[in-house]
């Protein structure tokens, strides 16, 4: 096939469009001035970032929430994917996929409505626990997506062979399917973690006063105006997430 | 002879059709028994019902006097060699073979010895530590066999285990498989659609079509004395002349009419097909019937358009009528 | 077997029912109630909230959301198609890298990526700084806080959603078909027009829907990049549940949005079956 020059050039432009804004942001986070004119290299904004107590607490909250919800969502989602793979349940898989396409704002307000309703009868408030519950709920669908994709490429005869050789259904799952599924589960966990860590819309609606997360702080700062500390935070997040994705790719390769 | 497996009036219906329609058969102990039939005839379904992956709608499955209906696959003393081998990719060949022994609660110290023995038996002594991904097709097949045999099942099911191998390898493995079965004395139930395979390997064959059994017998009986037109045609080529069936290898050609005592027809040679070990000469009679005769290399050769006589001995006629 | 399966599905089922289906039902209920005196909800039951959806005041916002989402989707498809074609044609060893480069920005924080555009477009942002210092303009251009900025942000945010299904479709295209076309005398452009594009129509439909739906329900992008003048449905909903404290109306809008989303998905599934997703 004759290749024209057009495609590679176009592709290069698109990649530039995708990556340059972020790279510029990273570059300017090292700018000694807070204006968008380069005035020299400086780590000033990173220092400010590390010294911000509110930021530190928000980051900690985000980490805790992400780790806890990833842990539960991965387990629940994996078991669910396996169960649905064995025999589908239209209402369950339909609901889970629906939750994936439901706009976040709708998910968020519906959860808020639920919690407010519950709090009328129980003496509880919005807080870390409501955020974690919300995160587990929406992360399950992501885990399901990834693990299901993996299961679809699996050979069903393998479990049959295990049963044939004397393994019970539970043993077949534990000894044959689960080990083979490991890379997919790891990738799903990583996805759940990044989705949880990065969430703003749902979190902002169901978080309490004591459970500010990093995206919430970032949002407030971004709204207030030009702030180079935001650039510094962005760079760190960008590098952090980038590293996680590289990790994910590595794990996917070890099939 | 003692019966190992008895199937009685097995029925299995899927929404649109009767996949298994009243199957009854007895497999003697130590027998190499084949279920032969075209795709979709129901043989795979029968296998799955015996193994425990499907339950019959009605009918009994009795193994050595014990009723298997309703038992889970892991409760049945039956193992299977799958068509795709289904080797566990995350375990080595040795670990694959050990799997059944571990599940049976075998002494952990006794397992390695049994696995080694089995690897030797199938000729994979050096390959125990390999993962399935680095085994050849033939080696995978042998590992699957070893894995199923090491637990000493009362019945071994083989689901077209040779179909994924290339023809040359297949012939070699066939012989090894037969020898292995004789040596171990385990009852084999082998399903295939390849009639040559069934004829070579089996002590007994059950020919199936559309969910029913057409005939059960030894390879000789089935080939030389087919009970139905389907069996006759499935096992090899047949010439049907006025309702009488004759196989090409029993059909002779000559220019002059031969001696008495034979059936005789005049025909015109249309074309010759070279099959390697002989020719199949296709002719057409004056009545328009097509007849194929087998001509060996040391016999006279015929050209298209030749007028010839086709003849055969009445004793070579197939007992079944068209 | 069934006991095990029920056990495995129970936790997910529990979460789905309690934290997704029930909240949704509550919202459905609220949409038919009236605004309470102190916010929240109260009787009587009414259709009024749905009638308000047709009020021109809100119709503008709905219309604007549809237009911007369509524009963003169209742009995404136009950009994604050649890119997906490029990646599909690349050598096997480069394919993964090219795909990775598309996915990478998407997986970093959405907030960060949106902020990057604020950084570029605002009056004191980089683009204006450059234009001013090069004396191309004398005053900063109002690049931010308008509908164009939002569309750019949406395209930037959801481009990978368009690239991936298109790539998957193009990658699975039988190369023999392309060779057959060339063999019969078609130029590369003709081959694309008459063979490739029709054959990847399912991919285009999937990509279109996968971009359009999140655009329609977008919140952060119009909020940060659009200022007050270009709010979309998502912002309106959020507004009803916080400042305006009109939960019933907010619920009605949410359900209307959900209905739209579900109609689109059903249409896609009916047309292309489950593999589309």
Residues B61 and B31 placed together within one structural domain of the fold: yes
Q: In this structure, is residue B305 part of a structural domain?
A: yes
Residue C276 has pLDDT above 70, yes or no: no
Q: In this structure, is residue B17 part of a structural domain?
A: yes
Residues B22 and B169 placed together within one structural domain of the fold: yes
Residue B304 has a pLDDT of 87
With tokens 């509110």, the residue in question is A54
Residue A3 has pLDDT above 70, yes or no: no
Tell me whether the omega of the peptide bond preceding residue C44 falls within 30 degrees of 0, making it cis. yes
Nearest CB to A137 within list C1, C15, C118: C15
Q: In this structure, is residue B146 part of a structural domain?
A: yes
**For all residues of chain B together, what is the average pLDDT?**
91
In this prediction the ipTM stands at 0.88
E strands, chain C, in order:
34-35, 41-42
Q: Which chains touch A (3 or more CB pairs under 8 A)?
A: B, C
What are C113-163's pLDDT values in tens digits?
Answer: 899 998 888 888 888 888 888 888 788 888 888 899 999 999 999 999 999
Local structure of residue B130 (DSSP, 8 states): -
Do C222 and C231 meet the contact criterion of CB atoms below 8 Å apart? yes
Residues B283 and B221 placed together within one structural domain of the fold: no
Q: In this structure, is residue B180 part of a structural domain?
A: yes
Domain tally for chain B?
2
Domain stop point among B167, B202, B229: B229
Interface membership of C102 toward A (CB under 8 Å): yes
Residues 11-30 of C with CB under 8 A from A: 11-13, 15-16, 19-24, 26-27, 30
From B73, which residue of chain A is nearest by alpha-carbon distance? A164
From A173, which residue of chain C is nearest by alpha-carbon distance? C4
Q: Which chains touch C (3 or more CB pairs under 8 A)?
A: A
Residues B147 and B260 placed together within one structural domain of the fold: no
H or E, element range at B7? strand B3-14
* A237 against B71, higher pLDDT: B71
Domain stop point among B171, B196, B229: B229
Rounded distance between C-alpha atoms, residue C41 and residue C32, angstroms: 10
Nearest to C154 by CA among C101, C215, C110, C107: C215
Nearest CB to A180 within list B78, B86, B90: B90
Rounded distance between C-alpha atoms, residue B160 and residue B82, angstroms: 8
B288: left (phi over 0), alpha (psi -120 to 50) or beta: left
Looking at domain A53-253, which of 3.40.50.300, 1.10.3720.10, 3.40.50.970, 3.40.50.20 is its CATH number?
Answer: 1.10.3720.10
Residues B120 and B178 placed together within one structural domain of the fold: yes
Residues B188 and B259 placed together within one structural domain of the fold: no
From B100, which residue of chain A is nearest by alpha-carbon distance? A165
What are B101-120's pLDDT values in tens digits?
Answer: 999 998 999 999 999 999 99
Domain, as residue range, for B246: 237-316
Q: Specify the range with the lowest mean pLDDT, choosing from A46-55, A86-95, A173-182.
A: A46-55
What are C91-104's pLDDT values in tens digits?
Answer: 888 888 898 888 88
CB contact under 8 A, B72 and A166: no
Residue A71 has a pLDDT of 98
Domain stop point among B186, B209, B229: B229
pTM of the entire structure?
0.87
What are B38-73's pLDDT values in tens digits?
Answer: 988 899 999 999 999 999 999 999 999 999 999 999
For the domain that residue B306 is a member of, what is the CATH number? 2.40.50.140
Residues B33 and B126 placed together within one structural domain of the fold: yes
Nearest to C87 by CA among C104, C105, C102, C106: C102
Q: In this structure, is residue B322 part of a structural domain?
A: no
Q: In this structure, is residue B321 part of a structural domain?
A: no
CB contact under 8 A, C89 and A7: yes
Residues B45 and B192 placed together within one structural domain of the fold: yes
Q: Which domains does chain C have, with CATH numbers?
A: 52-106+146-276 (1.10.3720.10)
With tokens 């009243």, the residue in question is B22
Q: Following DSSP, what letter does each residue of B247-267 receive, concatenated?
A: -GGG-EEESS---SSSEEEEE
* A161 against B253, higher pLDDT: A161
Residue A243 has a pLDDT of 84
Dihedral of the alpha carbons of A148, A152, A155, A160, in degrees to the nearest 10? 60
Q: In this structure, is residue B276 part of a structural domain?
A: yes
Segments making up each domain of chain A, as ranges: 53-253
From A134, which residue of chain C is nearest by alpha-carbon distance? C19
């Amino acid at each position: 096939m004759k290749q024209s020059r057009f495609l590679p050039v176009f592709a290069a432009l698109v990649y530039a469009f995708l990556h340059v804004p972020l790279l510029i942001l990273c570059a300017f986070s090292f700018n000694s001035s807070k204006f968008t004119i380069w005035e020299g290299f400086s780590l000033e904004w990173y220092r400010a970032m590390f010294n911000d107590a509110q930021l530190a607490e928000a980051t900690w909250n985000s980490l805790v929430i992400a780790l806890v919800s990833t842990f539960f969502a991965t387990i629940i989602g994996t078991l669910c994917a396996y169960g649905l793979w064995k025999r589908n349940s239209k209402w369950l898989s339909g609901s889970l996929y629906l939750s994936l396409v439901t706009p976040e704002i709708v998910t968020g307000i519906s959860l808020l409505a639920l919690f407010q309703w519950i709090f009328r009868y129980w003496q509880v408030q919005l807080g870390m626990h409501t955020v974690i519950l919300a995160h587990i709920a929406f992360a399950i669908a992501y885990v399901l997506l990834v693990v299901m994709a993996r299961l679809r490429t699996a050979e069903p005869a393998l479990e049959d062979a295990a049963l044939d050789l004397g393994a019970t259904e539970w043993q077949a799952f534990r000894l044959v399917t689960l080990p083979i599924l490991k890379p997919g589960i790891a990738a799903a966990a990583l996805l759940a973690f990044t989705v949880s860590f990065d969430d703003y819309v749902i979190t902002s609606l169901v978080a309490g006063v004591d459970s500010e997360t990093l995206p919430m702080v970032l949002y407030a700062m971004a709204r207030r105006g030009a702030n180079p500390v935001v650039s510094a935070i962005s760079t760190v997040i960008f590098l952090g997430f980038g590293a996680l994705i590289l990790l994910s790719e590595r794990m996917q390769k070890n099939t | 002879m003692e019966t190992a497996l008895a199937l009685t009036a097995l029925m299995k219906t899927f929404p649109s059709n009767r996949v298994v329609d009243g199957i009854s058969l007895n497999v003697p102990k130590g027998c190499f028994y084949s279920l032969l039939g075209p795709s979709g005839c129901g043989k795979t379904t029968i296998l799955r019902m015996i193994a425990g992956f499907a339950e019959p709608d009605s009918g009994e499955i009795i193994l050595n006097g014990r009723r298997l209906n309703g038992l889970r696959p892991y409760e049945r003393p039956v193992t299977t060699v799958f068509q795709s081998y289904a080797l566990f990719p995350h375990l080595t060949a040795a670990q694959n073979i050990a799997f059944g022994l571990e599940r049976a609660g075998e002494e952990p110290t006794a397992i390695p010895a049994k696995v080694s023995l089995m690897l030797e038996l199938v000729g994979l002594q050096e390959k125990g530590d390999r993962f399935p991904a680095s085994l050849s097709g033939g080696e995978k097949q042998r590992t699957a066999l070893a894995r199923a045999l090491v637990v000493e099942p009362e019945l071994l099911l083989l689901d077209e285990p040779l179909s994924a191998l290339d023809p040359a390898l297949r012939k070699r493995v066939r012989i090894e498989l037969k020898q292995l079965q004789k040596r171990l004395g385990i009852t084999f139930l082998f399903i295939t659609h390849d009639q040559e395979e069934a004829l070579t390997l089996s002590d007994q064959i059950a020919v199936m079509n559309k969910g029913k059994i057409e005939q059960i017998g030894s390879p000789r009986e089935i080939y030389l004395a087919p009970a139905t037109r389907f069996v006759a045609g499935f096992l090899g080529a047949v010439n049907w002349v006025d309702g009488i069936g004759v196989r090409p290898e029993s059909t002779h050609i000559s220019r002059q009419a031969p001696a008495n005592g034979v059936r005789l027809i005049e025909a015109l040679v249309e074309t010759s097909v070279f099959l390697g070990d002989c020719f199949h000469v296709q002719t057409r009679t004056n009545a328009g019937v097509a007849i194929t005769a087998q001509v060996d290399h040391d016999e006279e050769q015929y050209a298209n358009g030749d007028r010839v006589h086709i003849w055969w001995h009445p004793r070579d006629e197939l007992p079944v009528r068209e | 077997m069934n006991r095990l399966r029920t056990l495995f599905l129970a936790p997910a089922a529990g979460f789905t029912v309690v934290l997704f289906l029930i909240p949704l039902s509550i919202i459905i209920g609220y949409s038919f109630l009236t605004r309470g005196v102190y916010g929240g909800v109260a009787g009587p039951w009414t259709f009024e909230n749905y009638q308000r959806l047709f009020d021109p005041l809100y119709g503008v916002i709905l219309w604007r959301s549809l237009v911007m989402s369509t524009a963003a989707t169209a742009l995404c498809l136009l950009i994604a198609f050649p890119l997906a074609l490029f990646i599909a044609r690349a050598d096997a060893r480069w394919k993964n890298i090219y795909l990775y480069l598309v996915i990478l920005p998407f997986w970093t924080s959405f907030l960060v990526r949106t902020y990057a555009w604020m950084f570029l477009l605002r009056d004191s942002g980089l683009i204006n700084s450059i234009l001013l210092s090069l004396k191309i303009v004398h005053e900063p251009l109002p690049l931010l806080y308008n509908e164009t900025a939002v569309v750019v942000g949406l395209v930037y945010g959801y481009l990978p959603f368009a690239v991936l299904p298109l790539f998957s479709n193009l990658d699975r295209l039988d190369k023999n078909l392309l060779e057959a076309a060339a063999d019969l005398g078609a130029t590369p452009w003709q081959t694309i027009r008459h063979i490739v594009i029709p054959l990847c129509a399912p991919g285009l439909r999937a990509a279109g829907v996968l971009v359009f739906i999140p655009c329609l329900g977008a919140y952060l992008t119009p909020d940060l990049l659009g200022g007050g003048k270009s709010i979309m449905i998502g912002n309106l909903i959020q507004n009803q549940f916080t400042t305006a404290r009109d939960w019933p109306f907010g619920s009605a809008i949410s359900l209307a949005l959900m209905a739209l989303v579900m109609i689109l998905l059903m249409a896609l599934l009916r047309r292309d079956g489950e593999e589309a997703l």
